[in-house]
Amino acid sequence: MYLPAGIYHETYAASHAWWQTNFVRAKMALLVALVATLPLYASLYVVSVANITLYTILSALGVQLLIGYCGQITLGHAAFIAVGAYATAMGVLFWGLPYPVAMAVGCLLAGLWSALFGLPSARIKGFYMIMTTMAAQFITVDFIITKYVSRVGGREHYFSLPPGTITIGGWPVDSEVKVYYLASALTLLSLAGMANLLRTRVGRAWIAIRDNDIAAEALGVNVVYYKLLAFFAAGVLGGVAGAVWIPSLFFVSPEHFQLSWSVWLVGVVLIGGLGSLHGVVFGAIFVTVIPELLKFAVIPLSGVYPALTERFLYVKEAAFGLAIILFLLYEPRGLAYRWQQVKNYFNLWPFAY
């Protein structure tokens, strides 16, 4: 039932279904069950690592949309995540909005702010686009948020978020397990929404612009409109990531949204694979789990080299840079492509075309 030679379709809907065989449906059902019951059989440490992974997936989705699907290089995506986080926090703390409403406002503001910095994409591309998005990072986080927004209400540099601040219908999101279920639900919705959007006219226009914007314009695609729409959608996804991240924090600070996080997200997309939603998931798991495993490898050496534990952050960043270099050299299509090759091997085994 799951071999390529044993599959045939009689309708267009069947040939374009997400899960086309019972075997695939069973695998996805098992995956959903494992994700839903993770806090029941895993330790709190594993749940916290899973939360960081989910946050990374949400953060990298917008970067994948811009770079992988629309061909717009960005190095300032953390700025739009910051807008979503700060707008959500201010909506809850100052305006008394329910958390879901504050999240919606934060996502909208992040999308509009992203589209504003996407305006230069109508005339520039490549290296100049990188500089524009970096300017968004510096202007948003290092200037506006640090100098003005974070000091609203007489505060000094950050907003405090004591437990119980974030609630959904009277249900406080005040533990790692609750944050996990919230992040899991929003990650699933974001991935499903993104996957469906890419199958529409909008998604095909983005891919056409990525492949050749001049040819796309000659075929009637409004390049400026769809580029701005891509920036808006990426900003909304960044706003979702920022809104999901704040329940895990005791305070919101500009230090959580530095340029290094923007660069880190680009690395997630490169390692996972450009132009693939699977790549976002695989890349996020890789850059989150591997440093944790590296940490356990470093612990036995702390007795011999005590400074190694204190400087683990530098080891982590060095390992991340080395991983990007190795992937660019030996697996430039990312983990998603390798996963597809592995699936093809087992689907065709023991026969081959």
**What are the residue boundaries of the structural domains of the chain, listed by start?**
42-348
The CATH architecture annotation of domain 42-348 reads Orthogonal Bundle (1.10)
Query: What is the per-residue pLDDT for 150?
Result: 81
Contact call for residues 238 and 117 (beta carbons, < 8 A): no
pLDDT above 80 for 176: yes
Please report, rounded to a whole number, the percentage of residues in the chain having pLDDT higher than 70.
92
Q: pTM of the predicted model, to two decimals? A: 0.92
pLDDT digit string (tens) for 113-149? 999 999 998 888 888 888 999 999 999 999 999 888 8
pLDDT above 80 for 288: yes
Please report which confidence band the pLDDT of residue 306 belongs to, taking 50, 70 and 90 as the band edges. low
Residue 266 dihedral angles phi and psi, to the nearest 5°: -65, -40
First to last CA, the chain: 18
Please report, rounded to a whole number, the percentage of residues in the chain having pLDDT higher than 90.
62
Average pLDDT value for residue range 34-57: 94
Query: What is the per-residue pLDDT for 23?
Result: 79
Nearest CA to 126 out of 26, 210, 29 is that of: 210
Three-state DSSP at 251 gives: strand
Contact call for residues 255 and 82 (beta carbons, < 8 A): no
Nearest CA to 281 out of 347, 332, 336, 234 is that of: 336
